Amino acid sequence: MAAGGERIPGTPRYRHHLMRHPGTEPFFPNFLLKEWIVGSVFLLSFMLWIVFNPVDLGPRANPDDTSFIPVPDWYFLFLYQILKYYPGNYEIFGTFLLPMVGGLLLLFTPWLDVSKERHPFQRPIPTAAMVLATLLTIWLTNEAAVQHQAEVAQASGQVTTPGLPVLPRIPASQIHLVDTNMPGYQLFEQTCANCHGKAGEGGLGPPIYAIGRYWNAKQLKDFVDKGAGMMPPRGTLSSEQQVQEVVDWLVKQKG
């Protein structure tokens, strides 16, 4: 059925007699209602994504720490990657000329592609150029991401216990432990803190202040029960009961 025939019962048919083309429908309320439905489904998926992907807040900015490997947000990665291909005296190509030319080409597209043809197959040169530019952008973005990951992996080459999530070392003053009134926290302070620090910031043992973000209670308990590396089985806790209490508290620490 043509959508032009669907009406919300009782709504007035503004200018309906003027519609010359079959299939057209008024913007309000018919089309807008459908847009709202699409928008609602979209927003719902968006909110679900957000709830299951909480945003990370890294350690506080420290201008003295020059060991940090800088990386822009993902949508600037393709520009960042271009820089790497023009080192030294040719830097200006990557920092200025190429992005400028790209931006101007995009801005003045209507005056570069002046043929009357609109179908993409009827104007192969602009179509091919755009397809190539898109693929190149995606490839550059991916290349930058892969190279950055490799760089980070190489820099953090410190020996870590296999399977243990690696948390960045940050000062204890920036860690906010939660639920410190639980019995598990007192046990933590008396035992685990000797190696992992009062705030879990790490010491002899690795930082574990946000371990709950990576491991659930069962994974944590299995790990503590077995022990690893310098950590004895059950840490230095004396009973299953104590391990459970500490684990119950630790899983709530999500940074």
Distance between CA atoms of residues 235 and 252, nearest Å: 19
Minimum separation from the CB atom of position 143 to other proteins (A) = 17
Helical H segments across 156-226, by residue range: 183-190, 193-196, 217-226
Query: Does residue 44 interact with other proteins by CB under 8 A?
Result: no
Nearer to other proteins, 75 or 163 (CB): 75
User: Which among 63-71, 191-199, 218-226, 229-237 is the span making contact with other proteins, rule CB under 8 A?
Assistant: 63-71
Question: Minimum Å distance from CB 30 to other proteins?
Answer: 8
Query: Total binding residues for other proteins by CB under 8 A?
Result: 74
CA distances from 67 to 162, 189, 206 (A): 24, 31, 19
Q: Which residues within the stretch 106-125 sit at the binding site for other proteins (CB under 8 A)?
A: 106-111, 113-114, 116-120, 123
| Rounded least distance, CB 234 to other proteins, Å | 30
Alpha carbon distance 105, 111 (integer Å): 9
Binding string, 155-174, against other proteins, x = CB under 8 A? -------------------x
Cα separation, 179 vs 250, in Å, equals 10
b/e per residue 1-36 (b: at least 16 CB within 10 A): eeeeeeeeeeeeeeeeeeeeeeeebbeeebeeeeee
Sign of CA dihedral 169, 170, 173, 176: negative
Q: Is 43 in the site for other proteins (CB under 8 A)?
A: yes
Contacting residue, 8, 10, 58, 141, with other proteins by CB under 8 A: 58
Residue 61 sits in the site that holds other proteins (CB under 8 A): yes
Q: Is 175 left (phi over 0), alpha (psi -120 to 50) or beta?
A: beta
Q: Which stretch binds other proteins (CB under 8 A): 71-79, 197-205, 214-222, 243-251?
A: 71-79
Options 55-63, 151-159, 180-188, 208-216: segment touching other proteins (CB under 8 A): 55-63
Shortest distance in whole angstroms from residue 248 CB to other proteins: 20
Alpha carbons 171 and 169: distance in angstroms, whole number: 7
64 binds other proteins (CB under 8 A): no
Q: Judge contact between 217 and 251, C-beta under 8 A.
A: yes
Does 51 engage in binding with other proteins (CB under 8 A)? yes
Name which of 56, 188, 74, 197 is nearest 137 in CA terms: 74
- In this chain, which stretch among 95-103, 179-187, 195-203, 214-222 interacts with other proteins, using CB under 8 A? 95-103
Does position 85 bind other proteins by CB under 8 A?
Answer: no
- Assign 69 to helix, strand or coil: coil
Q: Does 139 bind other proteins (CB under 8 A)?
A: no
Nearest-angstrom CA–CA distance, 206 and 167: 8
Find the binder of other proteins among 8, 10, 17, 53 (CB under 8 A).
Answer: 53
